[in-house]
Amino acid sequence: MENGLGSAAGRGFGKVSSKVAPQNSRGKFLRACLGKAALVAVALAVSAPLANAAEPLTFINLQLNPWSVVAQEKGIFKEEFDKIGVKEVNLIASGAAELSGAESAGLNRGSIAIAQRMLYPATAHRANGLDAVVVWVSEASNKYRTPLLARADNNEVNSIADMEGKVYGSNRIGCSYTSVFESFEAAGLPLDTRLKAGKIRYEGVENNGARNAALLSGAVDGLATHIGNNSGAALYLSGKVKIVGRTVERGVYENGAGRVSFFAMRDFAEQYPEAVKAFLISYRRATAWIQDNVDEAAAIISKGTRVPLDIAKFQIVDPSGYEFIKGDTSADNVRKAIGEFQDWYIAHGDDVFTDRKLSQQDIATFVDGKFFKGGEYSIY
């Protein structure tokens, strides 16, 4: 066990047992010639690589989402993971509750090996103690990804300015908070935080379904969400909501906090970099195939994620979708973006990073350079 979290070989992937060979007779000669202290140093030097050697993977667990069901169905995962000896790829659904942040718990418990979130929540998980590293980050986000929604029949809320004194609902560690936090600040209507009351009331709702229901029932007046994912697309396409605000263009959310990221536990990335690379190649191949084969891909996604066909297709073709952005090839660019949005949110009262700010060294090691351009396991 390491840090109470278990070894890397227990997280989201399979293993086979290994044994360390017994000490040979050379130890007697070393003891006689070098003395006890020297023997200990030599023994440690010889045995450490054996003790720390990664155990071979036999399977890997990954998140079930639109692109991954396509990668599974079209044999992309099989082709890429077969090359490194991983014979079984399991797709794990987040569960009916869809609790925001569940992917970080999945990494920690070992139910999945690599997780997808936007860069702000990934960084917040790290600040909250998750020993994870970023292995891929997209280029900048856009104004379509996380719009502010109100009920279509709510005549009192038609713009961000109309949210003054109203109730806004979201999960705390996610884009539904960070995107509008900046938008509300820009409009001179700061959102409530744990540290200071603002001009817009904040209601924490961590469950996607409950959040949608809160908006439709009138329990909250506004909600920002990714309309390019299953629950967001279903809500938006229902016709019961309207867009009343957008993300600040070219702001800290678009340029940094709202970028898509993949992250893994640090020990997994250290011991199994080939598996991370196979995953990233699969992602690139699958998303390219989806864009070239929209109708067939929509049918696969509809069946694999259990959503209506129109919702599956919307996630592919609408500009709010976030599966098809190019990756930022530079680890230093990503580190710079993290530092900039962390500083901005702290300066404007963000209570997560105010309490647990990542140092520059923390940020440097959080972004795993070996998977970016110039790194040993880069796909670029």
- Does the pLDDT at position 114 exceed 50? yes
Nearest alpha carbon to residue 233 among 144, 117, 303, 293: 144
- Does the pLDDT at position 281 exceed 90? yes
Rounded distance, CA 245 to CA 261, Å?
24
By CB neighbour count within 10 A (0-12 exposed, 13-18 middle, 19+ buried), where does 24 fall?
A: exposed
pLDDT band at 10; cut points 50, 70, 90 = very low
What confidence tens digit (pLDDT) does each residue in 204-247 have? 988 888 899 999 999 999 999 999 998 899 999 999 999 999 99
What confidence tens digit (pLDDT) does each residue in 118-131 have? 999 999 999 999 99
Cβ contacts of 88-95, under 8 Å, gap ≥ 24: 88/14, 88/58, 88/59, 88/60, 89/59, 89/60, 89/62, 90/59, 90/60, 90/61, 90/62, 91/61, 91/62, 91/63, 91/64, 92/61, 92/62, 92/63, 92/64, 93/64, 94/63, 94/64
Question: What one-character DSSP code corresponds to residue 258?
Answer: T
pLDDT band at 19; cut points 50, 70, 90 = very low
What confidence tens digit (pLDDT) does each residue in 320-354 have? 999 999 999 999 999 999 999 999 999 998 888 98
**Residue partners of 131: CB distance under 8 A and separation at least 6:** 3, 5, 265, 266, 267
> Judging by DSSP bridges, how do beta strands 59-63 and 241-245 pair with one another?
unpaired
Residue 143: what pLDDT?
A: 94
Mean pLDDT of 250-274: 96
Rounded distance, CA 87 to CA 177, Å?
39
pLDDT band at 22; cut points 50, 70, 90 = very low
3-state secondary structure of 244: strand
Mean pLDDT of the chain: 85
What confidence tens digit (pLDDT) does each residue in 125-149 have? 999 999 999 999 999 999 999 999 9
- Does the pLDDT at position 34 exceed 90? no
What confidence tens digit (pLDDT) does each residue in 83-102 have? 999 999 999 986 544 555 55
Q: 105 versus 367: which is more confidently predicted?
A: 367
The 10 Å CB-count burial string (b at 16+, else e) for 184-204 is: bbebebbbbbeeeebebbbee
Residue 170, both tokens:
């979201």
- Does the pLDDT at position 375 exceed 90? yes
Residue 351: what pLDDT?
A: 84
3-state secondary structure of 92: strand
- Does the pLDDT at position 52 exceed 60? no
- Does the pLDDT at position 28 exceed 70? no
What confidence tens digit (pLDDT) does each residue in 312-329 have? 999 999 999 999 999 999
Residue 207: what pLDDT?
A: 83
3-state secondary structure of 242: strand
Rounded distance, CA 177 to CA 192, Å?
11
Question: What one-character DSSP code corresponds to residue 13?
Answer: B
Nearest alpha carbon to residue 313 among 327, 288, 293: 293
281 near 379, Cβ under 8 Å? yes
- Does the pLDDT at position 8 exceed 70? no
Rounded distance, CA 355 to CA 338, Å?
16
> Judging by DSSP bridges, how do beta strands 114-118 and 260-265 pair with one another?
antiparallel
What confidence tens digit (pLDDT) does each residue in 160-212 have? 999 999 999 998 889 999 999 999 999 999 999 888 899 999 999 888 888 99
Residue 121: what pLDDT?
A: 94
Mean pLDDT of 256-265: 96
Any idea of the CA torsion for 80, 261, 221, 159, to the nearest 10 degrees? -110
For Cα atoms 357, 363, 366, give the angle at the middle one, nearest 5 degrees. Answer: 115
Give the rounded percent of residues in the chain with a pLDDT score beyond 90: 72
Rounded distance, CA 336 to CA 60, Å?
32
β-strand partners of 63 = 92
Mean pLDDT of 369-373: 98
CB atoms under 10 Å from CB of 309, counted, come to 13
